[in-house]
């Protein structure tokens, strides 16, 4: 049914290939209305819409997009017929009604990512999501050609999440001024924080949409400390902070690939307190009608990740992933998914956080994996043009991405519900699903032989192995990216109170090199 009032535009419906009365499930349905331009429309006009299907009703905040345009963006969770009615303090925007239909999602649309099985993630349609992220802090602030090059690189890379900032960044290897700013005003320091710059945000959200087309989650960093009062975005007054948060959520929450990160290294923002960030989290959680994944990233001080509005723990700690047992501990404490978004970077800069070898970074990813947690990539190779991937994007120069693509294949083959620690306190090198699937990571050890044995999981932690069960094994060279099947089948016999071993005492020959893993799967009879 067509809209009942003049001037209504459904921009996103056209963009997604449907008629003006239809949008796909988890797509983006947009209402655009002309409205008042006098005064400050960003602050003076309240605008929202209530969407209803049967007894289900959801109110979605709208926003002013400049040039007299007011928009509401809705991401429908359910298929079928929907109705809406606008709610506004401006009479011209209030009480407008319409109807539309939500169709089946397209082939590559699995919905937003959500927490699944306590420690893991899945798309809304149940498809597993195994996080393999990277960081390009301010790629959207670079010249257009460089942004396009970044997207081309990502299209061929294994990453399914990208962390990046809304605000520009002023830091070593990144001192160029951006092409646009998030607020109206005169750079570098005279801003009207009550008037966001619509062109800036139109460009920013286009990049979110570009990532969505590539199947990449957009982990949006809302605040960061890399300003030091050059622009002053790190020390806005509380009223400006809160208004900025509400505007960002209203504009961006309907994109199904959005994740929220309240800050990068929140504790380095000396003009904000822990209480400020608690308030920010409550605002985002309350204003976001879809409750996208929400976390906060630390410098030296960890935030309280047990707070109910935090969906997962975003951790900076390279030492934690130097051994699987350490990596698991945060998971045990927070009882949520743990993503080690920063474990230092592959690169050769002078700072010690940007000097990891590719071997070391891949090693840390594998430790995180068997611990039932997730890891993040970054790259900081020096360049005459000062284009470092970690900050500006561009091209990848390191050796880790190819090895992480190999890890991605392993993750795709793993149990859908996620890899779990098998016996975290005693044998953290074992991850998987008890009695079904085991991934054993030997790290920097260089054995030439490995006794086939499977630990019994602690009581209440899954089905134990049992005598007579049969398994096959493969040797994975995680650096050279090879999979070597082991001949024969291993049949279990109880070894002692803690292990089952092969009934004939068989073992696996190994090449005496580091970074080897063993993948073990149960033979279904």
Burial 169-196 (b: 16+ CB within 10 A, else e): bbeebbeeebebbbbbbeeeeebebebb
Token pair of 139 as six digits = 């790629």
> 11-103 with 113-413: one CATH topology?
no
Q: What is the DSSP letter of 498?
A: S
pLDDT tens for 4-36 read 333 333 334 333 333 358 999 999 999 999 999
Q: Kindly provide the b/e burial profile for residues 202-237, where b requires at least 16 CB atoms within 10 angstroms of the residue's own CB.
A: ebbbebbebbbebebbbbbbbbbbbbeebbbbbbbe
> What average pLDDT does the segment 44-60 reach?
97
Mean pLDDT for the stretch of residues 57-68? 98
User: Domain extents for the chain?
Assistant: 11-103, 113-413, 430-522
Q: Quick one: pLDDT at residue 55?
A: 93
User: Which CATH number describes the domain made up of 113-413?
Assistant: 3.20.20.80
Q: What is the pLDDT of residues 406-459, one digit of tens each?
A: 999 999 999 999 999 998 889 999 999 999 999 999 999 999 999 999 998 655
pLDDT at residue 20, rounded to an integer = 53
Per residue, what are the HEC states of 274-330? HHHHHHHHHHHHHHCCCCCCEECECCCCCCCCCCCCCCCEEEECCHHHHCHHHHHHH
Token reading at 195:
């008037």
Residue 121 clears pLDDT 60, i.e. is over it: yes
Question: Burial, 293: exposed, middle or buried (Cβ in 10 Å; 0-12, 13-18, 19+)?
Answer: buried
Q: Is the pLDDT of residue 390 over 70?
A: yes
Whether 78 shows a pLDDT value over 60: the answer reads yes
Q: What is the pLDDT of residue 456?
A: 83
The pLDDT score that the predictor gives to residue 140 is 98
Q: Which residues of 97-127 are buried (b: 16+ CB within 10 A; e: fewer)?
A: ebebebbebeeebbbbbeebeebbbbbbeee
pLDDT at 225: 97
Average pLDDT, the chain: 94
pLDDT tens figures, 122-177 = 999 999 999 999 999 999 999 999 999 999 999 999 999 999 999 999 998 889 99
Residue 149 CB neighbours (<10 A): 18
Q: Is the pLDDT of residue 245 over 70?
A: yes
Identify the CATH homologous superfamily for domain 11-103: Immunoglobulins (2.60.40.10)
For 77, phi then psi, to 5°, come to -85, -25
* Contact between 467 and 496 (Cβ < 8 Å): no
Q: Which CATH architecture describes the domain 430-522?
A: Sandwich (2.60)
Instruction: Please report the pLDDT score of residue 6 as a whole number.
Output: 32
């Amino acid at each position: 049914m067509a809209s009942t009032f003049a001037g209504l535009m459904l921009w996103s419906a056209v963009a997604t290939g449907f008629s003006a009365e239809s949008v796909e499930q988890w797509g983006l349905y947009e209402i655009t209305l002309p409205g008042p331009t006098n005064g400050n429309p960003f602050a003076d006009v309240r605008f929202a819409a209530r969407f209803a299907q049967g007894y289900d009703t959801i109110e979605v905040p709208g926003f002013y997009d400049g040039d007299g345009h007011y928009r509401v963006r809705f991401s429908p969770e359910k298929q079928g017929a929907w109705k809406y009615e606008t709610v506004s303090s401006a009479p011209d925007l209030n009480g407008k009604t319409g109807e539309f239909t939500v169709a089946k999602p397209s082939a590559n649309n699995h919905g937003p990512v959500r927490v699944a099985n306590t420690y893991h993630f899945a798309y809304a349609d149940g498809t597993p999501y195994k996080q393999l992220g990277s960081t390009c802090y301010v790629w959207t602030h670079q010249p257009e050609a460089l942004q396009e090059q970044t997207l081309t690189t990502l299209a061929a890379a294994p990453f399914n999440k990208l962390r990046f900032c809304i605000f520009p960044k002023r830091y070593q290897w990144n001192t160029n001024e951006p092409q646009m700013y998030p607020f109206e005003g005169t750079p570098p320091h005279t801003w009207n924080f009550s008037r966001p710059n619509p062109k800036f945000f139109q460009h920013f959200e286009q990049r979110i949409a570009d990532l969505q087309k590539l199947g990449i989650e957009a982990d949006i960093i809302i605040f960061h400390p890399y300003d030091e009062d050059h622009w002053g975005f790190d020390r806005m007054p509380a009223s400006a902070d809160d208004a900025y948060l509400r505007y960002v959520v209203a504009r961006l929450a309907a994109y199904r690939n959005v994740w929220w990160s309240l800050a990068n290294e929140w504790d380095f923002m000396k003009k904000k307190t822990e209480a400020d960030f608690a308030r920010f989290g409550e605002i985002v959680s309350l204003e976001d009608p879809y409750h996208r994944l929400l976390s906060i990233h630390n410098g030296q001080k960890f935030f309280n990740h047990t707070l109910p509005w935090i969906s997962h723990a975003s951790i900076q700690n390279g030492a934690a992933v130097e051994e699987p047992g350490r990596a698991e501990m945060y998971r045990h404490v927070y009882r949520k998914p743990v993503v080690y978004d920063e474990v230092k970077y592959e690169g050769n800069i002078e700072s010690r956080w940007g000097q990891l070898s590719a071997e070391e970074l891949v090693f840390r990813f594998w430790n995180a994996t068997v611990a039932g947690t997730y890891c993040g990539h970054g790259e900081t190779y020096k360049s005459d043009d000062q284009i470092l991937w970690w900050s500006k994007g561009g091209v990848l120069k390191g050796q880790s991405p190819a090895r992480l693509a190999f890890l991605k294949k392993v993750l795709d083959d793993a149990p859908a519900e996620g890899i779990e620690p098998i016996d975290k306190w005693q044998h953290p090198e074992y991850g998987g699903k008890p009695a079904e699937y085991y991934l054993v990571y030997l790290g920097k050890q260089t054995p030439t032989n490995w006794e086939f044995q499977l630990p019994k999981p602690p009581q209440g932690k899954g089905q134990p192995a049992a005598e007579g069960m049969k398994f096959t094994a493969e040797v994975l060279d995680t650096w050279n990216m090879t999979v070597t099947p082991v001949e024969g089948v291993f049949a279990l016999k109880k070894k002692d109170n803690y292990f089952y071993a092969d009934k004939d005492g068989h073992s696996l020959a190994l090449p005496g090199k580091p970074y080897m893993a063993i993948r073990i799967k149960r033979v279904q009879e």
